[in-house]
């Protein structure tokens, strides 16, 4: 994929922890993705999706107000996902929790702490790069 194409893809990063949100944004910038929308919780993310579609959603699971799985269901039910993959990021590493997210329809799952190489491989897979 060309750098120009990477720059046009729009990602929504949903993370309540500011440091984690910044780290993920830096990883994405380093990978050449610069069109980022950052949200601090599911409610803010849902509002962003209502304003403009995105190409990929990267969301934390555990957040106040509306968690990542609630965001996924709300966006899906309101037909705001289009074909955008939904990548769940969470400290939840229990097999049952991972399966719960995947069975709900989440596209993929990363266990925190986020590693840039794993993030890159998941993005490449989800965007079929």
Which residues in the chain come in under a pLDDT of 70?
1-4, 129
In this predicted structure, what is the pLDDT of residue 10?
97
Q: Where are the beta strands (DSSP E) in 22-70?
A: 35-39, 56-60
Q: What domains appear along the chain, each with residue ranges and CATH number?
A: 3-126 (3.40.50.2300)
In this predicted structure, what is the pLDDT of residue 36?
97
Q: Are 36 and 11 in contact (CB under 8 A)?
A: yes
């Amino acid at each position: 994929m060309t750098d120009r194409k990477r720059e046009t893809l729009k990602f929504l990063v949903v993370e309540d922890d500011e440091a984690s949100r910044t780290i993920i944004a830096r990883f994405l910038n380093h990978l050449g993705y610069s069109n980022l929308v950052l949200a601090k919780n599911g409610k803010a993310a849902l509002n962003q999706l209502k304003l403009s579609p995105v190409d990929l959603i990267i969301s934390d699971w555990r957040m106040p107000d509306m968690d990542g799985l609630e965001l996924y269901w709300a966006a899906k039910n309101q037909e705001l996902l289009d074909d955008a993959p939904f990548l769940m990021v969470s400290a939840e590493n229990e097999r049952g929790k991972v399966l719960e997210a995947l069975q709900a329809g989440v596209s993929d799952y990363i266990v925190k702490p986020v590693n840039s190489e794993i993030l890159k491989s998941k993005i490449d897979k989800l965007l079929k790069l």
